Amino acid sequence: MKFRTERDGLLEALVTAGRAAGSRGGGMGSPSIQLSLRGNQLEVTGSDPDLVIDVRTGVVGEADGVTLVPSRLVGDIVRALEPGTVGVVADEEEVRISSGRAEFVVRVPVGAEISRLSQLEGESITLPAARFAEGLRQVVRAALTDDTRAPQLTGVLMVATESGMRLVATDSYRLALRDLEGLSALEPGAEVLVPARALTEIQRLVGSGTDDTPLVFRHSELDAVFEIGEVRLTTRLLRGPFPDYQRLLPPSYPYALTTDREEFAGALRRVRLMVRDAKDATTPVRVTFSPEGAELTVLTAESGRAVERVDGRFSGDELTVAFNPSYLLDGVEAIRSETVLLQVIDASKPATLRGDGEDEYSYLLMPVRVS
Amino acid sequence: MGAGDRRALSAVQAAAAGAPSDILHLDMDAFFASVEVLDDPTLAGKPVVVGGTGGRGVVASASYAARRFGVFSAMPMAEARRRCPGLIAVPGRFGRYSEVSAALMGLLREVTPLVEPVSLDEAYLDVSGAHGLWGTSEQIAVALRGRVHAALALSCAVGVGRTKLIAKLASKAAKPPADEGGTLAGAGVLIVRAGEEEAFLLGQPIRAIPGVGPRSAERLARYGIATVADARQLERAGFVRLFGSSHGNALCDLIAGIDPRRVEPEREVRSIGHEETFASDDADLASLQRKARRMADAVAARCRRAAVVGRTVTVKVRFSDFSTINRSRTLAHPAATGAEIGAVAAALLEALELGRGVRLLGVHVSGLVSRDEGAEQLELFPAASSEPDGSLDAGTRERRLELEAAADAVRRRFGEGALWPPRGDDGGPARP
């Protein structure tokens, strides 16, 4: 294999594909990336058993071929090269990377392998990338990040609705739900459970793209494929059962706090400073609702306390409900409207965050019980 | 001013070059072995080790006479005997060591109340408030050594520095050098002043830094890092990549000489636990699990009495060869009942290789918060799989808590023996 290309394009491809060649790879040796050249088209593939990312990039090809390279090392090398032309020549044993006066000869990793998920053909659907990514931004945050407890909760459920599609994620403490009207990526009645990790990559790939950027989606029973621009991401689907989330949505709420999103988020960020460990679920923020708004209090035995008042309207009697401050902030930050509604029942039933006039999104959150 | 502020301040103070060398680290010389020699003068001057005397035992402590033969702690007993044919190995008497340790800590507290015991034979002192009565840090260190020798007839080394790190490294440097070439008299006291700190630290082997164990040292050696000076070449990101964010950052700070840790005399109770030494070694999983469950009940009762709950359950196992391991699991919710603590302890034991025989078993709960403050994150639906960490769902826990609290009340009134878990509750006979 032999080709020349610009450093920046090659680097971008290596970095993007490298995200799938993480430490999760169960294979031998250090994570590897595959380079495959045909004509002037270079395909860079990173993979682990659950996720494959392929990036195509144009190069000046001189001899077709395929090789594996150690992911991190080659990424570091290309990043460190001066901008300009990079030459790559590979044989069965080594890969020669040269640019200017620098030359690296990297041994081809032995025993490494690139896992391949199924090559999905068949019907594909084109989604508006920016809108889909915005939905992901609102929902992925509620998924479980640690898969030892309940693997099915590390996914986002994509389910076809009558008028579009719904995204749902929950880690059992909170649940985020977003309806995407008129967006039909699935056959009626179908649902797939996509790992949040893959969807985080999709969000990154869409970046600041617009809805004009097409995002092509296909799935089978086992895998799903997303294609955006020159990047194809294939992920293994998770197996359910996903919790029966519809049962969890309270039919009605007696009370609601209406307040400014940024003011509320800012106050939460400030009082949360008293919680040392963001994952510490045992130091709650107590939200005391009163007709003029709410008071946020964090009390810790070790560090002290923080109190802040937030103006707003509350449609009920005085009431205190405690929450994990990070979970509450996650929900507030997910909302797009400038005005948020925090709906509560009592100190031990789920609360819901919504945006004013933003009915397509709900963020359910269980309180923290303080005895 | 909260504890956090004070910590931050002391870091700033310590970083100021003018900070006084007010932290002392006192470390007893060959503590267990020395106590044995003290109690049996016929052993004086002889190569004595404390440790497991069985086939797979290891050395827990070696007298200086034994060290001359190249016998060190953590060495397999068989190897120690090979190196030193006349070796006298005695089994440990931890009750006795604790007794001597209590006397030692008492002596230290006469100098300052700011004494933080680290283990039976090791403590930090903050003498910043003791100068008026006892003189300079150096004078205090020398006096302490004399008092320990006079009162206990045991020797120790004292290191003095601006931080715990420097004090600890200094006490190590003040020890009698004990390499295989022979044992020389140690300085006994070493004070490292602010101006000498950098040179002292740079010359230390990386292995001397707290938190760098044999495995970490081996990893660093692969990068050609053998000393603190070598390690200074590695960037913070490198440490984080090698050791993860929290350990990597902490290590990087220590290597830079940054150690904001204060001497914390009365550490708040960080764990509640129960330990038992068995008359005969126990290698049977079911029997050990039964004992663990019984201890868990006692631990839970003590937690309830103190009105605290904790999220981390630890089992401590000391094997017949004195090697000791701890295994912990942190739960999603604080554990408040013996049933929960016992289930976690039993699961932790199951994952251990117990064939060597267990001499001591302990069950501890840590990460304690007061029950009033200790909050519980409620769940939207019963966790999809609640079995792996042994925590109970909220309803079951509530009922179990009521049950055990009622048992507490009965035991208070009628004595500890009034109630015990029913047969079958833990799959075996109720009483040991």
For A307-331, the DSSP string reads EEEEEEEE-SS-EEEEE-HHHHHHH
A176-185, A193-202, B56-65, B165-174: which range is least confident on average?
B56-65
Residues 287..316 of A with a Cβ closer than 8 Å to B: which?
299-304
Residue A163, chain B, CB below 8 Å: the answer is no
Predicted pLDDT at A26: 43
CA atoms of B261 and B249, how far apart (whole Å): 14
> Do the bridges between strand A368-369 and strand A358-365 make them parallel or antiparallel, or are there none, so unpaired?
unpaired
**pLDDT tens-digit map of A331-363:** 999 999 999 999 999 888 899 999 999 999 999
> Which of B140, B96, B142 lies closest to B120, judged by CA?
B96
Give the residue, B143 or B7, on which the prediction is more confident.
B143
Asked if residue B114 is part of any domain, the answer here is no
Give the residue, A209 or A288, on which the prediction is more confident.
A288
pLDDT band at residue B374 under the 50/70/90 scheme: low
Percent of chain A at pLDDT above 90? 63
pLDDT band at residue B424 under the 50/70/90 scheme: very low
Residue B201 has pLDDT above 70, yes or no: yes
Asked if residue B15 is part of any domain, the answer here is no
Number of H helices, E strands in chain A: 6, 26
Cis peptide before A291 (omega within 30 of 0): no
Residue B386 has pLDDT above 60, yes or no: no
Give the residue, B73 or A324, on which the prediction is more confident.
A324
Number of domains in chain B: 1
CA atoms of A52 and B4, how far apart (whole Å): 45
CATH number at residue B361: 3.30.1490.100
Residue B45, chain A, CB below 8 Å: the answer is no
Helix ranges, B40-128 (H): 64-67, 77-83, 94-111
pTM: 0.55
Residue B280 has pLDDT above 90, yes or no: no
DSSP code, position A122: S
Catalytic, B264? Answer no
Give the residue, B425 or B369, on which the prediction is more confident.
B369
pLDDT band at residue B224 under the 50/70/90 scheme: confident
Predicted pLDDT at B395: 60
The one-letter amino acid code at B85 reads P
Size of interface A-B (CB pairs under 8 A): 82
Q: What's the whole-number mean pLDDT along residues B182-187?
A: 55
pLDDT band at residue B388 under the 50/70/90 scheme: very low
pLDDT band at residue B403 under the 50/70/90 scheme: confident
Predicted pLDDT at A98: 95
CA atoms of A205 and A233, how far apart (whole Å): 10
CA atoms of B157 and B204, how far apart (whole Å): 18
B-chain residues within 8 Å CB-CB of A367? 378
A134-148, B112-126, B383-397: which range is least confident on average?
B383-397
A interface test, pick of B9, B380, B381, B402 with most A CB neighbours within 10 Å: B380
Residue A326, chain B, CB below 8 Å: the answer is no
Task: Label residue B431 exposed, middle or buried (CB < 10 Å: 0-12, 13-18, 19+).
Answer: exposed
Residue A32, chain B, CB below 8 Å: the answer is no
Asked if residue B373 is part of any domain, the answer here is yes
Range of the domain at B334: 271-418
CA atoms of B104 and B102, how far apart (whole Å): 5
Residue A27 has pLDDT above 90, yes or no: no
Give the residue, B269 or B361, on which the prediction is more confident.
B361
Asked if residue B85 is part of any domain, the answer here is no
Predicted pLDDT at B397: 65
Predicted pLDDT at A29: 55
Residue B246, chain A, CB below 8 Å: the answer is no
A40-54, B163-177, B381-395: which range is least confident on average?
B381-395
Strands laid side by side in the B48-51 sheet: B59-62, B48-51, B88-90
A-chain residues within 8 Å CB-CB of B2? 302-304
pLDDT band at residue B385 under the 50/70/90 scheme: very low
- The chain A residue lying nearest B311, using CA atoms, is A282
Predicted pLDDT at B303: 87
Residues 333..352 of A with a Cβ closer than 8 Å to B: which?
348, 350
Report CA torsion sign: B125, B128, B132, B138: positive
Predicted pLDDT at B248: 83
Average pLDDT of the residues of chain B? 81
Asked if residue B393 is part of any domain, the answer here is yes
The one-letter amino acid code at B398 reads E
B-chain residues within 8 Å CB-CB of A368? 375-378
Residue A366 has pLDDT above 90, yes or no: yes
**pLDDT tens-digit map of A231-267:** 999 999 998 789 988 888 888 888 999 999 999 999 9
pLDDT band at residue B213 under the 50/70/90 scheme: confident
CA atoms of B49 and B58, how far apart (whole Å): 10
Q: What's the whole-number mean pLDDT along residues B196-209?
A: 91
pLDDT band at residue B281 under the 50/70/90 scheme: confident
Distance, CA of B227 to chain centre: 25
* ipTM of the complex as predicted: 0.81
The one-letter amino acid code at B138 reads E
Asked if residue B372 is part of any domain, the answer here is yes
CB half-sphere exposure, A6, CA atoms < 13 A: 5
Asked if residue B358 is part of any domain, the answer here is yes
The two structure tokens encoding residue B163 = 């931080």
Q: How many residues does chain B have?
A: 432
Residue B377, chain A, CB below 8 Å: the answer is yes
Yes or no, beta carbons of A368 and B377 under 8 Å apart? yes
pLDDT band at residue B322 under the 50/70/90 scheme: confident
> Which of B89, B149, B376, B113 lies closest to B263, judged by CA?
B113
Residue A84 has pLDDT above 80, yes or no: yes
Min Cα–Cα distance to chain A from B376, Å: 5
Yes or no, beta carbons of B378 and A368 under 8 Å apart? yes
Residue A213 has pLDDT above 90, yes or no: no
Predicted pLDDT at A260: 97
Residue A148 has pLDDT above 80, yes or no: no
Task: Name residue, tokens 């006079």.
Answer: B150
CA atoms of B62 and B11, how far apart (whole Å): 37
Q: What's the whole-number mean pLDDT along residues A295-323?
A: 89
Percent of chain B at pLDDT above 70? 82
Max CA-CA distance within chain B? 69
**pLDDT tens-digit map of B228-241:** 999 998 888 888 88
Asked if residue B412 is part of any domain, the answer here is yes
Please give the backbone phi and psi of residue B4, each rounded to the nearest 5 degrees, phi first: -60, -45
Neighbours of A83 (CB within 10 A): 11
Residue A174, chain B, CB below 8 Å: the answer is yes
Q: Select which of B36, B79, B116, B122 is catalytic.
A: B122
Predicted pLDDT at B425: 45
Q: What's the whole-number mean pLDDT along residues B167-181?
A: 78
Yes or no, beta carbons of B372 and A243 under 8 Å apart? no
A24-33, A213-222, B321-330: which range is least confident on average?
A24-33
- The chain A residue lying nearest B386, using CA atoms, is A149
Yes or no, beta carbons of A322 and B375 under 8 Å apart? yes
Contact by Cβ (8 Å): A303, B3: yes
Min Cα–Cα distance to chain A from B307, Å: 11
A19-33, A149-163, B58-72, B361-375: which range is least confident on average?
A19-33
Residue B378 has pLDDT above 60, yes or no: yes
A148-152, A167-171, B3-7: which range is least confident on average?
B3-7
Residue B387, chain A, CB below 8 Å: the answer is no
